[in-house]
């Protein structure tokens, strides 16, 4: 049986030629994302906002009106009830209570007492204001350090032009994921941060693949026009970029469909991040190189030494 | 290429076989494993991957120790000494109070201020005493504060452990986090309200004399006395009492406490026993105060205040109140376990019931199984024979990943399962890069062996680069992440490392065997 070529050989897409259109699209994505982040913000889960979340299972279909009535009478401020999954499963969210941690604990107790027996508490999560602030701080720190670390690594392995282009593409991907979470107001929690970080680490892979080829070709073809050279590298690496992303997307779709509710946000963030990452490595990262051309091998160096340098990378 | 160093072949095979051995226990039910484990040395591969609380169900509580309370209590003691020292030295003062870890008072005659400062400083050399005009303020030195915090947290952990052990919870994990936090993990506890109630009380017991003549609502209370409210289960007495500021006998002299029933009323009560020192003090106090009330105070609330009928010299006593059986049990447990040095607050709680945990495991298993199947099929469709080889490496990778998790004693969480599923997709990436390169070299006119060789050699640099960036993200996630997210970072990081080994070394080995035995003339990629 012949293997299937999902991506035909010798594609001649004019990726670099489309850059004005794709830059406009990317610009739009970033502007809309930032706009939404500025106006709507993120729908922080209790991990960051503090508060209480309870997932309960009632015996028989849940009587939402009855539950809402009971909980509203407790005077705990904003209590949101949401049916999810099966008709007997309800998610209860209680906003952060006025006062210290003890006030939060009292709220959980009050809810449990008011709902009475015959209810299975599948999940109870309470995050106090102190911990919430710390998690927020740690999350921001982790993402910042990751971006800096990856930039340092790319800089170390390539030249600064590649590092800058890669980081712009990487930020583009992260902003797009954040923008999506802001636009849809999907809950943004700790696992979402994990997803954003993983997107940062993974979406750069395609970029590195194309950069490796670009660098090789710059050594090999010293007279070739940069835009053509980059475009050829993109076409040559197209199958690699798409196939590697494809395998990950396939597993992510499995997580999305079968992984349960707790992982939903994670799977969505990762899937979108990997898709945008594949796009950005072609249309953002490599196209940016055109505006800050990397140094080419000095005249007189032979192709042989270029080859050796490549092998040295291995 | 056809040459593959013998030691490398042995290394790869050893790693795979050992991994299979260390991963195998995860497939065996725990009871059988326990049976086999008897009499075997501990290095034998009998460790399973432990499941996080989000998978096996259980409660995770992050508790904060209020160190400030310990310091304030200590300063109250200093204040008592200061009062008597200042009186002795004939120094007039006003507004003596402790607040937020600082003891301060105003000296009436500013000329005596320096003397007052020295008097306070001589009480304890750990005090830093400052003088501002006529105001003297004292607080603990930074080092002394830290020492107190450390010992308060260590002591709290000890008491928490005793209380949780006494409550019958099995295999709790209790450990310090940061300076003043304690992490408590209770596997299998789906409703931690009872434990939270047990930990929510400092359970400081003391016996105070009651001043029956003073009016608790009168505003001014005689020196050495203070007003205390009645405990919720003290229904018989008045709502407020005037009691001695210091306990005449303190609860840390108790040696035992047991729930029991009052012989006359049949109500639940708590019997307690003193040690020899406590028994003597209690005997003296009761003998000297016959006809007066003695308040039994728990956490600054009066549980009961019986009238002393006769000297109690037996070294034991009874606490009665309107207790339920559960409350009497809990009170006895708390008294046995001892008082916490400082109040605890729940800063974070994450509890997963057994139902959701089981559902999550099932979802994880299905997602992993289908994820693996999809990747395997996709690789075979896309790369034929080479895809099969990549799949062999993929399976070996999963085995190595499970073995590493078992060996490291890592905890598998739900995001951790997501990490494993994700790793499957990422692991074959390296093979995709290698195969595409082989294909390119082959199309470019190289021979079979030359193309395979070049494909592996050239792709390795790219593979390392792309994996290291993901590893950076995983490392940061581990360092700064918490709880279940850390589980994701662990599986992702280990998965990346094992996948680099399997995709490069194992795939290569399998392809070498194929090239040697079949001597292929063409590459069908």
**Residue A16 DSSP class:** G
Instruction: Indicate if A59 and A85 belong to the same structural domain.
Output: yes
Q: What angle do CA A23, A5, B440 make, to 5 degrees?
A: 85
CATH of domain B205-317: 3.30.1360.200
Instruction: Indicate if A106 and A232 belong to the same structural domain.
Output: no
Q: Do A205 and B466 touch (CB under 8 A)?
A: yes
Nearest-by-CA chain B residue for A189: B485
Chain A contact for B418 (CB, 8 A cutoff) = yes
Q: What phi and psi values does residue B288 have, to the nearest 5 degrees?
A: -75, -15
Q: What is residue B35's predicted lDDT score, i.e. its pLDDT?
A: 77
With beta carbons under 8 A apart, name residues in chain A contacting B479. 142
Residue of B188, B192, B348 to mutate when probing chain A, most A C-beta within 10 A: B348
Q: Do B378 and A247 touch (CB under 8 A)?
A: yes
Distance CA B203, CA B241 (A): 19
Confidence band of A305 (pLDDT split at 50, 70, 90)? very low
pLDDT tens for A50-83 read: 889 999 988 888 888 888 888 888 888 888 888 8
Sheet containing B127-132: order of strands? B93-99, B102-107, B135-140, B127-132
Q: Do B460 and A127 touch (CB under 8 A)?
A: no
- By residue range, what is the domain housing residue A148? 16-42+132-308
Nearest-by-CA chain B residue for A207: B466
Size of interface A-B (CB pairs under 8 A): 236
Instruction: Indicate if A121 and A138 belong to the same structural domain.
Output: no
Instruction: Indicate if A174 and A240 belong to the same structural domain.
Output: yes
Instruction: Indicate if A26 and A77 belong to the same structural domain.
Output: no
CB A81 within 8 A of CB A68: yes
Least confident residue range of A69-78, A123-132, A144-153, B425-434 = A69-78
A131: CB partners within 8 A, 6+ apart: A50, B62, B347, B348
**CA–CA distance from B397 to each of A190, B13, B23, B388, B505 (Å)?**
27, 13, 11, 14, 11
Distance CA B402, CA B447 (A): 38
With beta carbons under 8 A apart, name residues in chain A contacting B54. 262
Q: What phi and psi values does residue B281 have, to the nearest 5 degrees?
A: -60, -45
Residue identified by tokens 């680490």 is A201
Nearest to A209 among B382, B443, B466 (CB): B466
pTM of structure: 0.85
Q: What is residue B42's predicted lDDT score, i.e. its pLDDT?
A: 66
CB A113 within 8 A of CB A107: no
Instruction: Indicate if A86 and A27 belong to the same structural domain.
Output: no
**Beta-carbon-side half-sphere exposure of residue B459 (alpha carbons within 13 Å):** 26
Q: Do A146 and B383 touch (CB under 8 A)?
A: no
Nearest-by-CA chain A residue for B488: A194
Nearest-by-CA chain A residue for B471: A201
Number of compact structural domains in chain A: 2
pLDDT tens for A246-275 read: 999 999 999 999 988 888 999 999 999 999
Task: Report which of B82, B153, B90 is spatially closest to residue B119, judged by C-alpha positions.
Answer: B82
With beta carbons under 8 A apart, name residues in chain A contacting B461. 212, 310, 313-314
CB A306 within 8 A of CB A216: yes
Instruction: Indicate if A104 and A158 belong to the same structural domain.
Output: no
Residue of B182, B472, B478, B490 to mutate when probing chain A, most A C-beta within 10 A: B472
Chain A contact for B522 (CB, 8 A cutoff) = no
Asked whether the predicted pLDDT for residue A313 surpasses 70, the reply is: no
pLDDT tens for B418-467 read: 999 999 999 999 999 999 999 999 999 999 999 999 999 988 888 998 89
Distance CA B293, CA B455 (A): 92
| Max CA separation in chain A (angstroms) | 84
Q: Given 3-state DSSP classes, what are the helix, strand and coil percentages for chain A, each rounded to the nearest 5?
A: 65, 10, 25
Instruction: Indicate if A189 and A256 belong to the same structural domain.
Output: yes
Question: Strand, helix or coil at A295?
Answer: coil
Residue B463's H or E segment, with its range, is helix B448-480
Nearest to B461 among A139, A198, A314 (CB): A314
Task: Report which of B366, B383, B378 is spatially closest to residue B511, judged by C-alpha positions.
Answer: B383
Distance CA B175, CA B183 (A): 5
Nearest-by-CA chain A residue for B193: A109
Residue of A242, A259, A274, A306 to mutate when probing chain B, most B C-beta within 10 A: A259
Instruction: Indicate if A37 and A166 belong to the same structural domain.
Output: yes
Q: What is residue A297's predicted lDDT score, i.e. its pLDDT?
A: 62
Asked whether the predicted pLDDT for residue A312 surpasses 60, the reply is: no
Which CATH entry fits the domain spanning B70-145: 3.30.1240.20, 3.40.190.10, 3.90.1150.10, 3.40.50.300?
3.30.1240.20
Q: What is residue B2's predicted lDDT score, i.e. its pLDDT?
A: 59
The correct answer on CATH 1.20.1640.10 for the domain covering B6-55+354-518 is yes
Nearest to B347 among A101, A310, A311 (CB): A101
Q: What phi and psi values does residue B102 have, to the nearest 5 degrees?
A: -130, 130
With beta carbons under 8 A apart, name residues in chain A contacting B353. 120-123
Cα dihedral A161, A163, A168, A172 in deg (nearest 10): 140
Q: From A94, A127, A160, give the residue that closes a domain.
A: A127
- Residue A30, domain member (yes or no): yes
- Residue A6, domain member (yes or no): no
Q: What is the 3-state secondary structure (H, E, C) of B69-94?
A: HHHHHHHHHHHHHHHHHHHHCCCCEE
For range A37-43, the mean pLDDT? 95
Residue of A105, A197, A212, A273 to mutate when probing chain B, most B C-beta within 10 A: A197
CB B273 within 8 A of CB B260: no
Nearest-by-CA chain B residue for A4: B382
Instruction: Indicate if A56 and A174 belong to the same structural domain.
Output: no
Chain A contact for B201 (CB, 8 A cutoff) = no
- Residue A180, domain member (yes or no): yes
Nearest to B432 among A202, A240, A266 (CB): A240
Q: What CATH number is associated with residue A100?
A: 3.30.70.3400
Nearest-by-CA chain B residue for A248: B425
Tokens of B95: 């507004």
Distance CA B346, CA A50 (A): 13
Instruction: Indicate if A223 and A266 belong to the same structural domain.
Output: yes
Q: From A127, A162, A193, give the residue that closes a domain.
A: A127
Chain A contact for B223 (CB, 8 A cutoff) = no
B288: CB partners within 8 A, 6+ apart: none
Residues within 8 A of A (CB atoms), B 17-36 only: none
Tokens of A179: 């923008």
Q: From A104, A127, A150, give the residue that closes a domain.
A: A127
**Residue A83 DSSP class:** E
Chain A contact for B346 (CB, 8 A cutoff) = yes
CB A306 within 8 A of CB A297: yes
Which residues, given as ranges, of chain B have pLDDT below 50? Answer: 1
Q: What is residue A36's predicted lDDT score, i.e. its pLDDT?
A: 97
Instruction: Indicate if A159 and A280 belong to the same structural domain.
Output: yes
Task: Report which of B127, B150, B187, B165 is spatially closest to residue B350, judged by C-alpha positions.
Answer: B187
Q: What is residue A299's predicted lDDT score, i.e. its pLDDT?
A: 52
Asked whether the predicted pLDDT for residue A213 surpasses 60, the reply is: yes
- Residue A202, domain member (yes or no): yes
Quote the ipTM score.
Answer: 0.89
pLDDT tens for B121-149 read: 888 888 999 988 889 999 999 999 999 89
Q: What is residue B524's predicted lDDT score, i.e. its pLDDT?
A: 86
CB B346 within 8 A of CB B61: yes
Q: What CATH number is associated with residue A228?
A: 1.20.1640.10
| Domain residue ranges of chain B, discontinuous segments joined by + | 6-55+354-518, 70-145, 205-317
Distance CA B116, CA B94 (A): 12
Tokens of B379: 């690789």
Q: What is residue A238's predicted lDDT score, i.e. its pLDDT?
A: 94
Q: Do A198 and B474 touch (CB under 8 A)?
A: yes
- Residue A9, domain member (yes or no): no
Distance CA A269, CA A193 (A): 9
Chain A contact for B481 (CB, 8 A cutoff) = yes
Contacts 24+ apart (CB under 8 A), B116-120: B116/B86, B116/B89, B116/B91, B119/B82, B119/B85, B119/B86, B119/B89, B119/B91, B120/B78, B120/B82, B120/B85
Q: What is the 3-state secondary structure (H, E, C) of B39-64?
A: CCCCCCCCCCCEECHHHHCEEEEEEE
Nearest to A124 among B351, B359, B425 (CB): B351
Asked whether the predicted pLDDT for residue A308 surpasses 60, the reply is: no
Question: Strand, helix or coil at B396?
Answer: helix
């Amino acid at each position: 049986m012949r293997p299937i070529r999902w991506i035909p050989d010798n594609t001649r897409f004019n990726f670099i030629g489309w850059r004005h259109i794709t830059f406009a699209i990317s610009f739009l994505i970033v502007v809309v994302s930032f706009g939404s982040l500025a106006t709507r913000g993120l729908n922080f889960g209790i991990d960051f906002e503090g508060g209480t979340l309870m997932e309960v299972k009632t015996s028989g279909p849940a009587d939402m009106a009855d539950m809402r009535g009971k909980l509203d009478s407790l005077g705990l401020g904003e209590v949101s009830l949401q049916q999810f999954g099966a008709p007997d499963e309800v998610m209860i969210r209680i906003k952060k209570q006025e006062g210290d941690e003890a006030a939060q604990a009292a709220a959980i107790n009050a809810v449990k007492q008011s709902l009475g027996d015959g209810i299975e508490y599948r999940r109870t999560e309470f995050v106090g204001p102190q911990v919430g602030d710390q998690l927020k701080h740690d999350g921001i720190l982790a993402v910042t350090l990751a971006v800096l670390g990856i930039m340092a690594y790319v800089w170390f392995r390539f030249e600064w032009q590649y590092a800058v282009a890669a980081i712009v593409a990487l930020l583009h991907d992260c902003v797009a994921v954040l923008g999506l979470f802001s636009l849809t107001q999907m809950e943004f929690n700790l696992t979402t941060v994990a997803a954003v970080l993983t997107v940062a680490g993974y979406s750069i892979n395609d970029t590195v693949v194309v950069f490796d080829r670009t660098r090789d070709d710059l050594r090999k073809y010293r007279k070739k026009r940069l835009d053509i050279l980059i475009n050829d590298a993109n076409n040559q690496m197209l199958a690699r970029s798409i196939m590697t992303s494809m395998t990950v997307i396939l597993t992510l779709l499995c997580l999305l469909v079968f992984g349960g509710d707790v992982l939903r946000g994670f799977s969505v963030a990762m899937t979108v991040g990997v898709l945008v990452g594949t796009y950005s490595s072609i249309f953002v990262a490599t196209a940016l190189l055109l505006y800050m051309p990397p140094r080419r091998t000095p005249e007189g160096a032979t192709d042989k030494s270029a080859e050796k340098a490549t092998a040295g990378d291995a | 290429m056809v040459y593959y160093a013998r030691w490398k072949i042995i290394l790869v095979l050893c790693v795979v076989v050992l991994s299979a051995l260390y991963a195998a226990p995860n497939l065996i039910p725990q009871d059988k494993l326990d049976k086999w484990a008897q009499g075997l040395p501990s290095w034998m591969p009998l460790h399973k991957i432990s499941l996080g609380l989000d998978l096996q169900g259980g409660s995770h509580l992050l508790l904060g120790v209020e160190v400030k309370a310990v310091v304030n209590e200590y300063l109250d003691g200093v204040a008592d000494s200061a009062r008597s020292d200042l009186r002795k030295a004939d120094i007039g003062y006003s507004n003596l109070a402790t607040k937020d870890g600082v003891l301060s008072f105003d000296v009436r005659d500013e000329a005596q201020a320096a003397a007052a400062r020295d008097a306070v400083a001589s009480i304890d050399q750990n005090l830093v005493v400052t003088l501002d005009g006529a105001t003297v303020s004292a607080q603990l030195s930074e080092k002394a504060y830290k020492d107190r915090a450390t010992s308060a947290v260590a002591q709290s952990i000890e008491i928490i452990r005793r209380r949780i052990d006494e409550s019958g919870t099995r295999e709790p994990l209790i450990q310090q986090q940061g300076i003043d936090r304690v992490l408590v993990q209770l596997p299998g506890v789906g409703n931690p309200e009872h434990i939270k109630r047990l930990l929510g009380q400092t359970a400081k017991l003391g016996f105070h004399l009651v001043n029956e003549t003073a009016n608790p609502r009168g505003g001014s209370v005689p020196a050495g006395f203070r007003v205390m409210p009645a405990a919720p289960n003290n229904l018989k007495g008045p709502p407020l009492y005037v009691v001695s500021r210091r306990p005449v006998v303190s609860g840390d002299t108790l040696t035992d406490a047991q729930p029991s029933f009052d012989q006359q009323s049949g109500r639940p009560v708590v019997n307690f026993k003193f040690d020899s020192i406590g028994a003597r003090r209690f005997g003296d106090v009761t003998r000297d105060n016959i006809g007066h009330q003695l308040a039994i105070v728990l956490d600054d609330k009066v549980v009961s205040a019986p009238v002393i009928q006769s000297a109690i010299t037996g070294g034991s006593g009874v606490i009665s109140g309107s207790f339920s059986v559960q409350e009497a049990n809990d009170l006895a447990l708390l008294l046995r376990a001892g008082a916490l040095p400082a109040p605890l607050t729940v800063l974070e709680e994450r509890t997963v019931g057994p139902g959701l945990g089981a559902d999550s495991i099932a979802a994880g298993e299905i997602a992993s199984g289908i994820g693996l199947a999809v990747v395997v099929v996709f690789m075979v469709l896309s790369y034929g024979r080479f895809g099969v080889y990549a799949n062999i490496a993929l399976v070996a990778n999963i085995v190595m990943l499970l073995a590493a998790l078992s060996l490291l004693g890592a905890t598998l969480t739900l995001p951790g399962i997501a990490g494993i599923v994700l790793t499957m997709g990422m692991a074959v990436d390296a093979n995709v890069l290698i195969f595409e390169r082989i294909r390119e070299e082959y199309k470019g006119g190289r021979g079979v062996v030359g193309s395979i060789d070049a494909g592996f050699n050239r792709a390795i640099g790219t593979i390392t680069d792309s994996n290291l960036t993901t590893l950076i993200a995983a490392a940061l996630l581990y360092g700064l992440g918490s709880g279940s997210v850390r589980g994701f970072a662990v599986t992702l990081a280990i998965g990346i490392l094992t996948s680099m080994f399997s995709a490069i070394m194992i795939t290569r080995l399998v392809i070498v065997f194929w090239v040697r035995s079949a001597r292929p003339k063409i590459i069908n990629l």
